Structure 1
Amino acid sequence: MLNASVAIVILAAGKASRMGEGGKHKLLAEFDGVPLVRRSALTALGADAASVTVVVGHRRSEIEAALQGLALTFVDNPDYASGMASSLIAGFSAAHSTDGILVMLADMPGISTAHLNALIFAFRNAGGEAIVRAVSRGKPGNPVILPRSLHHAVLRLEGDVGARDIVATSALPVLDVDVGDAACLDVDTPDDIVATGGAMKN
C-alpha cells in the first residue's frame, strides 16, 4: 500500500491553560505576521495528504476566522474542556475513509511540510500498517500517524491523553522519524512564543 491515504487532523480546540489569565490565545500569536494556527494549517495543506481537518472548541469563532479561505474541514468539539482525548476522538471520527490519520498539534511552530511528508512516506512504506511518530534524537514527539485500525482504541480514550497512550499499548510496530528539535517544540506560555520568534496578539 505505497499509495496509502492519510488525512491530517489538527488539534486546535484546547484552552491553553498555561498562557495565564490575560485572555491571550497562543494559537492566534503571530509568526512572521501569520497566526500560529493558520501557519500550522498551511503547513498541513502543503503536505501529500487527502484532507486537512481542524478540531475547534475554545474560542472557536476566532480560530475559524484565522483560518478563513483555506480548504479545511472544521469539526467542533463541545467537550474540549475535558481534555485532548475528546478532540482526538472528534477528529478521528470526522476524517474517515483514509488508511491513516496524522495527528498534528496546532501549537508546534517548527513543524514543516517536509516533516509531514517524511512521516507520510514512512507510513506508506510500511503498507499503512504501522504507527509513525516524529522524534527528536530518540525522544518521542509529535506529529503521529495512527492507522485506521486503531479507531476503536482512540474512541476509548478519556481525559487529557493523546496518541502517546495508544502508541504505548498498541501491538502495532512503531516507526520513528527524526525531524530534529521541531518534534518536541511546542509553545505553552507567552515566554515560549517570544522565544520561538512569535508575537502575542489577542
Structure 2
Amino acid sequence: MIDIITGIILAAGSSKRMGKQKLILPLKNSTIVENAVETVKSCKAFGEILVVYQSEEVMDRIKKYDVKTVYNAKAKDGQSTSVIEGIKNSDPDAKAYMFIAGDQPFITKDIIEALINAWKKNQNSIIVPCYDGKKGMPTIFPAEFRQELMNITGDTGGRTIIQGNSDRVMFVDFYDTMAGFDIDTPEEYNETLKII
C-alpha cells in the first residue's frame, strides 16, 4: 500500500500585520497563496492536498486548482484551528501530515521532497526543517500524533508537540536562509518582490 501523505496548506490567517489579506498579493505571475499551492502540487508524493482558508478572497484564488478546500470558521482563534480542520477533513488512511505555510514564497519543490524523503526513511519521526540553524516549516507529523494535533490550542501550531517529543524529532538542514522566510509585513513583502 502507498504511504499516503496529506499536504495541508495553512492559509486562514487574518494578515493583521499586513493590514490587508496578504495571501492574495501579487507574486511572480500569480499571488502568494497560488505560489504555495502550485509548489505543493508540483510534488507527486502527496495522496491529497488540502488548503485551509477563511477569506473568500483566498478561496476565489485557489478554487481553480485541483485541491480540497476547507473553510475554517474559527481561524481567529489561532493556527491550531487550521491544523485541526485540516486533519479532520483529511484521508483517514493518511500515514503522515505535512503542514505548509501559505506565506513562505521561497519554499521549493526540492525542499518539500527532501523532507518527504527524510520521513519515508524515518516514518516514526517528526520531520522539521532547519534553515541555517533556524527551525521552520513545512513540518511532517506521523499519523500517530493525530489526536495530539487535534488537541492543540491557540496560535502555536505543532510546536508544543515538537517540544514535548524531542526524542522523536528529526531535523533536516538546509543552508538557504530565505527558504524559511515568511511574509507578515508590508516591508517583508517589498523585500520579497526585490528578490523574486
Alignment TM-score, normalising by the size of structure 2:
0.92
Unmatched 5+ stretches in structure 1: none
- Comparing 156-165 and 82-91, the one that deviates more: 156-165
Alignment TM-score, normalising by the size of structure 1:
0.89
Shift of residue 183, structure 1, vs aligned partner? 4.2
Partner residue, 1:85: 80
Q: Does 1:94 align with 2:93?
A: no
Instruction: Report 1 or 2 for greater relative contact order, CA contacts < 8 Å, sequence distance ≥ 6.
Output: 1
Q: Distance in 2 between matches of 1:171 and 1:39?
A: 32
The CA RMSD over aligned residues, in Å, is 1.6
Evaluate the alpha carbon distance shift between residue 183 and residue 144 of structure 1 in structure 2; reply closer, same or farther with a 3 A threshold: farther
| 3-state DSSP of counterpart to 1:175 | strand
Partner residue, 2:129: 134
Corresponding pairs, count: 191
Q: Distance in 1 between matches of 2:114 and 2:191?
A: 26
Structure 1 residue aligned with 2:22, among 22, 26, 31?
26
Partner residue, 1:37: 33
Partner residue, 1:52: 49
Partner residue, 1:110: 106
Q: Does 1:176 align with 2:166?
A: no
CA displacement, residues 167-197 of structure 1 (integer Å, 9 cap, x when unaligned): 1112652111123224420000011111011
Q: Does 1:194 align with 2:190?
A: yes
**Percent of aligned pairs with the same residue?**
27
| 3-state DSSP of counterpart to 2:136 | strand
CA displacement, residues 22-65 of structure 1 (integer Å, 9 cap, x when unaligned): xx2110111112111011000011112111100011x2x21111
Evaluate the alpha carbon distance shift between residue 81 and residue 41 of structure 1 in structure 2; reply closer, same or farther with a 3 A threshold: same
CA displacement, residues 112-157 of structure 1 (integer Å, 9 cap, x when unaligned): 111101100000011x211001111221111100110001111111
